Structure 1
Amino acid sequence: MTLSDNAQAALEAFTAAGSWEQRARLLMQWGERLEPLGDGERGDANRVHGCESQVWLVGEMRGGHWHFRAASDARLIRGLLAVLLARVDGLSGPELNALDLADWFNQLGLARQLSPSRSNGLNAVLKKMAELAQA
């Protein structure tokens, strides 16, 4: 599966970061790039359940491809969401369902820093994306 320009940029930036501290800083920077959600979008209907932090996800289909926006109350989670969105933006429903989330975070050098609860939360986000794609 080929990477979008944004996903390729994430991969290059994170693999160039030599230490966890550098990757953590990068995550914070990526998190600030998230397109903000309006107050109306931060409702229970868009809330991702299964995350320790509050996470909201909005998705729309444009020209046969999915585009997502997300928000969280936690800075590190915003960064993780940003690199997840970089990977999934523009995918079709079947491509979204085939995505290996663990492999993506492993490629970025972030897998070891994902606690089980963060991993579960990100999987919950991916599951919500897949549900939106099925609807």
Structure 2
Amino acid sequence: MATFGVDITADDVLDALAFFDSWEDRYKYIIDLGKELPPLDEAYKTDEFIVRGCQSKVWLVPRNESGQWFFAADSDAFIVKGLLAVVLAAYNGKTSEEIKAFDIEHYFAQLNLLKHLSATRGNGLKAMVQRIRAWADPAAE
């Protein structure tokens, strides 16, 4: 069974990253966040859960429990695991309506994230978000 949940929120990530002066320290923090993700069982590392559009291998597993979404995730790259943790901090434990209403672009802008990532990493980050939003709002696909 996949272990779901991230114990931090988007506000926690914003507060923590604001503490660091350099992007290098922020980058290290994001990698450390990824190391805190629970391991994803190999049984979930299948095509069904792979996120297309990412430079690295990324698996994202959804679960809806009483109207709240929870996600388990993994990647074969440390920085991508960290980016997954940043995304999951924004979406885990949220309802479909909260996911649709969350301004992820503003969140990324506050993190000053996209300008420090390669174009392919940025596209992968957007692919993760699109996958989550598609589960939360299947009619929008």
TM-score, normalised with respect to structure 1:
0.89
Aligned equivalent of 2:115:
112
Does the CA-based 8 Å contact 1:101-1:123 persist in structure 2? no
TM-fit CA distance, 1:5: 5.5
Segments of 4+ moved more than 3 angstroms? none
Structure 1 counterpart of 2:45, which letter?
R
> Displacement of 1:132 after TM fit?
2.0
Match of 2:17 in 1: 14
Q: Residue 47 of structure 2 aligns with which residue? A: 44
- Residue identity opposite 1:30 in structure 2: L
The percent of aligned pairs where both chains have the same amino acid is 38
Structure 1 gap segments, 5+ residues each: none
CA distance in 2 between counterparts of 1:123 and 1:99 reads: 14
Q: Is the 8 A contact 2:60 2:72 kept in 1?
A: yes
RMSD of equivalent CA atoms: 1.6
Q: CA deviation at 1:11?
A: 1.0
Shift of 1:50: 0.8
Q: When the two structures are superposed, what TM-score results if normalisation uses the length of structure 2? A: 0.86
Structure 1 residue 99: Cα displacement = 2.9
Segment of structure 1 superposing worse, 86-95 or 41-50: 86-95
Q: Runs of 5+ in structure 2 lacking a partner?
A: 1-6
**Whole-Å separation in 2 of the counterparts to 1:114 and 1:91:** 26
